[in-house]
Amino acid sequence: MGDYLTFRRMITPVFIQIIFWIAVIGIVIAGLVQISNGKTAAGILLLLLGPLGVRIYAEILIVIFRMNESLLDIRNAKLGSAAPPATAPPA
């Protein structure tokens, strides 16, 4: 919980996934409405290309957060493998 409060762990990717599914449902409904209104070609294109476009956009957003997590892992690995500071020998 502390990682969330200090913004070390991101919650936005979860929201991106939720928004993706809401958008897909909305696009499917809009496509079916287009088809029922007589705009068959527009409806079919919306049904086929709409979810694909939303998926690409969501993946681009999630990649940004994954890059952040990977960079944090690299930083933590470097800090963990750093040699401890040398101590001066006793005089």
Give the count of domains, the chain: 1
CA distance 62 to 68: 10
Residue 6 lies in a domain: no
How confident is the prediction along the chain (91 residues), in pLDDT tens digits per residue?
677 777 777 788 889 999 999 999 999 999 999 999 999 999 999 999 999 999 999 999 999 988 988 898 898 899 886 555 555 555 5
Query: What are the backbone dihedrals phi and psi of residue 36, each rounded to the nearest 5 degrees, phi first?
Result: -70, -20
Residue 48 lies in a domain: yes
Residue 52 lies in a domain: yes
User: Looking at residue 61, what is its pLDDT?
Assistant: 92
Number of H helices, E strands in the chain: 3, 0
Residue 62 lies in a domain: yes
Query: What are the backbone dihedrals phi and psi of residue 11, each rounded to the nearest 5 degrees, phi first?
Result: -105, -10
CA distance 23 to 2: 31
Residue 19 lies in a domain: no
Predicted TM-score (pTM) above 0.75: no
For 41, the domain range is 30-70
Residue 61 lies in a domain: yes
